[in-house]
């Protein structure tokens, strides 16, 4: 068995000593990422009973699980990921690659023409470790998510997406500002400080693109 690299050993040490990992395990949550979403959602009171929520890049299910619990019995949660995700009660899961038209069509069919109130995207590509490769891949996924929100999110709805700072970031945020009444950039406490990830919260989708 090959020895672990120094970086992977450091990551494992950080992961298992991480207070959010321990808290997620104690509370029966699938992922520490749930606490990022909890902070972002509760700060702006984004969830309301009866909402239709779509979770893009959902596996292992931490965000969908938290949203389902927060909504209680009312509302709908539809999740999608290229990875398999163990079933969650009250969550509709589609397995497929968001980059493929057939998968997007299946997601839209599942929604049955009903407008979405909140689109969440925690999508990220498999990392190669080379920024010049990883950032364009991440930006491509982000653009697909924005296109999906353009089509499926109701006027006045909210779009919350993970972004990576780097080439294309500023232009992406400008595009969000054309589409939404208010755009904020957030770094929740549960995000690791050395991670380049931030979250763009776009609220109040315009009925027509400005």
Domains, the chain, in order of start with CATH, read: 31-205 (3.40.50.150)
Q: Is the pLDDT of residue 12 over 50?
A: no
Is 101 known to sit in a ligand binding site?
no
Is 97 known to sit in a ligand binding site?
yes
Sign of torsion, CA 94 78 193 21?
negative
Is 61 known to sit in a ligand binding site?
yes
CA distances from 154 to 36, 51, 204 (A): 24, 11, 9
Phi-psi region of 159 (alpha: psi -120 to 50; beta: other; left: phi over 0): beta
Q: Is the pLDDT of residue 161 over 50?
A: yes
Question: What pLDDT is stored for residue 14 in this prediction?
Answer: 53
pLDDT band at residue 38 under the 50/70/90 scheme: confident
Residue with more model confidence, 5 or 30? 5
Show which residues are catalytic.
Answer: 162
Is 122 known to sit in a ligand binding site?
yes
Q: Quick check: helix, strand or coil at residue 42?
A: helix
Please list, in sequence order, all residues whose beta carbon lies within 8 angstroms of the beta carbon of residue 82, skipping any fewer than 6 positions away. Answer: 59, 95, 96, 97, 98
Q: Is the pLDDT of residue 79 over 80?
A: yes
Percent of all residues in the chain with a pLDDT value above 90, rounded to a whole number: 59
């Amino acid at each position: 068995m090959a020895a672990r690299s120094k970086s992977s050993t450091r990551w494992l040490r950080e992961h298992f000593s991480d207070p959010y990992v321990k808290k997620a395990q104690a509370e029966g949550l699938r992922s520490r990422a749930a606490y990022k979403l909890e902070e972002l959602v509760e700060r702006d009171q984004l969830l309301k009973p009866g909402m239709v929520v779509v979770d893009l890049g959902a596996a292992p299910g931490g965000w969908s699980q938290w949203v389902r619990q927060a909504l209680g019995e009312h509302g709908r949660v539809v999740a999608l990921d290229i990875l398999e995700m163990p079933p969650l009660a009250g969550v509709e899961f589609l397995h497929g690659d968001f980059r493929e038209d057939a998968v997007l069509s299946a997601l839209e069919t599942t929604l049955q023409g009903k407008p979405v109130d909140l689109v969440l995207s925690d999508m990220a590509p498999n990392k190669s470790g080379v920024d010049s490769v990883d950032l364009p891949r991440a930006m491509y996924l982000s653009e697909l998510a924005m296109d999906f929100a353009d089509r499926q999110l109701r006027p006045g709805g909210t779009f919350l997406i993970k972004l990576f700072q780097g080439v294309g970031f500023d232009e992406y945020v400008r595009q969000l500002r054309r589409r939404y009444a208010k755009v904020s950039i957030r770094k929740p406490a549960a995000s690791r400080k050395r991670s380049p990830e931030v979250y763009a919260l776009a609220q109040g989708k315009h009925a027509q693109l400005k």
